[in-house]
Amino acid sequence: MYSDKVMDHFRNPRNMGEIDDASGIGTVGNAKCGDIMRVYLKIENDIIEDAKFKTFGCGAAVATSSIATELVKGKTINEALQITNKAVMEALDGLPPEKVHCSCLAEEALQAALWDYAIKNNIQITGLKPPAEHHE
């Protein structure tokens, strides 16, 4: 059902925790499944120096949070915007159809953290949309 990579990131999540002086924090949730993700980003000179997460949810939610934080570390803000749910799923060698929404949450949490960073710094990030008010 789950790929070896999903199981590895579930059993040994990378970057779990908080960043005390985070540049941006994004929190998203899915009311149907109860998954909640919070992503913390530390951004210096347009580079994501560090990324951490806290996730309340299923194994796939933990795995997608873990891989998403791995994918953004060391990237520029514009590169981070290219990390879509599809990229998250590919990095995990796929997800079962009923767990695809977890990869969408990971993408949304990253973008919400970037939005928070933009607001705090009074900047505009081309291509970044405001976080959705509610999630289905």
Would you please indicate which residues are annotated as catalytic (active-site) residues? 33, 102
| Cβ(98)–Cβ(11) below 8 Å | no
Q: Which residues of 66-90 are buried (b: 16+ CB within 10 A; e: fewer)?
A: bbbbbbbbebebeebbebebebbbe
Closest Cα to residue 90, out of 61, 56, 64, 65? Answer: 64
